[in-house]
Structure 1
Amino acid sequence: MTRPFLPMNVLSTLALTLGLLSPALALAEPPAASSEAPTLERGTCSVEGLMDSIRRGLHSKSEAYKQYLRTLLRESAVNLPLAELQAAFEREYDPAMAEHLAAALVARTERGLEPEAMQAVAKRALEDRDPALRAATVRALRRTGALERTGDMYERLVRDSSPEVRMEAATNLVQDNLHVYGGHDARAADTAVAAAAASTDPKVTAHILGQLMTGEVSASSARTLEQLLGSDSAEVRAAASTALGGVPAAQMASARQSLLGMYRDERDPGVRKAILQSIAQLGFSSAVPELRRLRGVDPSLAPEVDAWIQVLEMNLQDWSLIQRAKQRLQQAR
């Protein structure tokens, strides 16, 4: 008899399922020896019951199991009483547990239920006295639709007194833009740019702008990025330069002029490298004459300019291909 063939994706799913369930089974008390079959009893899913399981599970060494419990609570949230869930969240002061409960509340709003569930999480992220709890609730909003449902929350969070909270908010903005909106939502990109500009923490601003996909930003946001080129922080100037490299076609000419004008006066080598990259990204092969004119401004960066010129003259039509070609060129040197 021929053995049935299981595709690798099925095997992987089975392995993952068993891996997630085995710690849960390990927590259960073994059944007492009995000659009679156990009687099945109807049970109900409660907030307290789930929270007790999660509290015990937090002591597990298995990260997969901890993620399983978080997913279990989030998926169960739609069937739990909102009042009980929200009350449990509001009286919880352990950051890890609060994050689990916050994620469950957010899941209710994400599933089309009460908008006030997510608002309760946003309120605590902004107002709780404990910065660890604020940071935990911010994490619970990650990779969700919170960006478009919470008004100016992120502009306020990036000005939080806690560096941890500020950076968690910055990470949310980057990941939401990429994983929720695919980098192609103008409102999401503009919200991130506005928050970056509102921040007075250079690390936060640079974290957002250095990783943000800006292909859909508005003309107003593009102007904001150009203004950030004048920041006192080299880290911010480099990140703003990088962000300008991806702006929409309608904003490209202005971005190129701003970057070209800035290069000659800039003194930080890292910022200059970011400017060169964005000039290349904005112009592709048409940027070659501009790069040649900049070559003598900083002799130490002449090899960097030459590398961009060599790659752009290959006439590749995709930015990711250009980046890989330049990386290979540098590795070969």
Structure 2
Amino acid sequence: MTRLSFARMNALSPWMLTLCLLGPVLPAAGAASSSDEAPLLQAGSCSVEGLMAQIRQGLGSTSEAYKNYLRRLLNESAVLLPASELQAAFERETDPALAEHLAAALVARTERGLESSAMDAVARRALGDANPAVRAATVRALRRTGALERTGELYERLVRDSSPEVRQEAARNLIEDNREVYGGRDNRATDAAVMAAANSTDPQVTAQILGQLETGAVGAGAARKLEQLLRSDAPEIRGAAAMALGGVPASEMGSARESLLGMYRDETEPGVRKAILESVARLGFSSAVPELQRLRGVDPSLAPEIDAWIHVLGMNHQEWSLILREKQRLQQAR
């Protein structure tokens, strides 16, 4: 019985899927990681139950690479499997790990242009399953997909889930989808993330989303929402909203700058004030120097922070990443 490397198994995937469609039984094939041996993968007839039996067995392996391979195999097989059987298997599965695999396969069908009802079934269970572990696993299956475009206000509801785990998974989806799927350049993804963050009743979730969000494509409505969040009772939300406003597009810069400068004098938290200073610097580059100089006397304890920004902005770098790097170097040297 031959054991195959993961590279060989990956190369054989299209061949295995063809055989899966035709239905013959192959000799067993397996894979080994550097630290342990994965269970043998039995390639047989293409059925939901057959594949799930293999995955159920494979989840007992300590090889993460092997488990990821099984998930990929199920996703690739999803287009060949009867949609009704796949959805039925998903709806009756109670094990969170297996539910996540099945949810990912259903999402893959929609992503490949098949029925949109598959994505809808996943969204319904993410919202309504009685087990929070299953809800969280189902949310993970939506990560780095086009779910934001197809599920309406799903995330505005997920961030209000009673389970902290579900809320955290939803936040991670919004952050990673914004960056990895849309590259921070699609206002639909950015605006959906902002509105979900604003709708959350968990200050940590709101701050987590806004603090890591790329806002270069944010729309006017979402930008106004960020400005409103500058007045939140929670300092972590005010700081995250201030940081998010520093990355808005040119059309929103004037309003964002005015809101940040107006907030600085009333703010009492030093950490939030530092976030405001950074965003003012990011919005204006060298043109922000006069504004920063006018803020210098508001809080004498932050005068060194303002001086540091004025110093690095005076270097006339044209890339924010370079300005930020010089600022960090200056801090480390002190």
2:173 equivalent to 1:172: yes
2:39 pairs, out of 20, 27, 34, with: 27
- 2:15 — aligned with what? none
Q: Cα–Cα, structure 1 residues 93 and 296, in superposed 2: closer, same or farther, change >3 Å? A: same
**Ranges in structure 2 where 5+ consecutive residues have no aligned partner:** 11-29
2:296 equivalent to 1:295: yes
- 2:259 — aligned with what? 258
Equivalent pairs, count: 309
- 1:284 — aligned with what? 285
The amino acid that maps onto 2:40 is: A
Q: Percent identity?
A: 73
**Matched position secondary structure for 2:32:** helix
Moved over 4 A (4+): 18-21
- 1:151 — aligned with what? 152
CA-to-aligned-CA distance 1:264-321 (integer Å, 9 cap, x gap)? 1111111111101000000000001111111222222222111111110000111111
Deviation, structure 1 residue 67: 0.8
Determine the C-alpha separation between the residues in 2 that align with 1:222 and 1:257: 13
Q: Cα–Cα, structure 1 residues 26 and 221, in superposed 2: closer, same or farther, change >3 Å? A: closer
The amino acid that maps onto 1:17 is: A
- 1:229 — aligned with what? 230
Determine the C-alpha separation between the residues in 1 that align with 2:283 and 2:133: 41
- 1:208 — aligned with what? 209
Q: Cα–Cα, structure 1 residues 304 and 18, in superposed 2: closer, same or farther, change >3 Å? A: farther
- 1:6 — aligned with what? none
**Ranges in structure 1 where 5+ consecutive residues have no aligned partner:** 1-13, 31-41
Q: Cα–Cα, structure 1 residues 161 and 29, in superposed 2: closer, same or farther, change >3 Å? A: closer
Deviation, structure 1 residue 18: 5.7
The amino acid that maps onto 2:330 is: L
CA-to-aligned-CA distance 1:215-263 (integer Å, 9 cap, x gap)? 1111111111000000000000000000000111111111111111111
Q: Cα–Cα, structure 1 residues 137 and 29, in superposed 2: closer, same or farther, change >3 Å? A: closer
**Matched position secondary structure for 1:324:** helix
- 2:108 — aligned with what? 107
Q: Check whether the contact 1:242–1:274 (CA below 8 A) recurs between aligned residues.
A: yes
- 1:98 — aligned with what? 99
Q: Check whether the contact 2:38–2:58 (CA below 8 A) recurs between aligned residues.
A: no
2:322 equivalent to 1:332: no
**Residue pairs, 1:1-333, within 5 angstroms:** 17=7, 22-23=31-32, 26-28=38-40, 43-333=44-334
Q: Check whether the contact 1:19–1:64 (CA below 8 A) recurs between aligned residues.
A: no
Q: Cα–Cα, structure 1 residues 180 and 18, in superposed 2: closer, same or farther, change >3 Å? A: same
Deviation, structure 1 residue 66: 1.1
- TM-score if structure 1 supplies the norm length? 0.89
Deviation, structure 1 residue 212: 0.8
Q: Check whether the contact 1:266–1:272 (CA below 8 A) recurs between aligned residues.
A: yes
The amino acid that maps onto 2:333 is: A
Q: Cα–Cα, structure 1 residues 326 and 301, in superposed 2: closer, same or farther, change >3 Å? A: same
Q: Check whether the contact 2:109–2:115 (CA below 8 A) recurs between aligned residues.
A: yes
Q: Check whether the contact 2:31–2:40 (CA below 8 A) recurs between aligned residues.
A: no
Deviation, structure 1 residue 28: 2.9
Determine the C-alpha separation between the residues in 1 that align with 2:160 and 2:261: 32
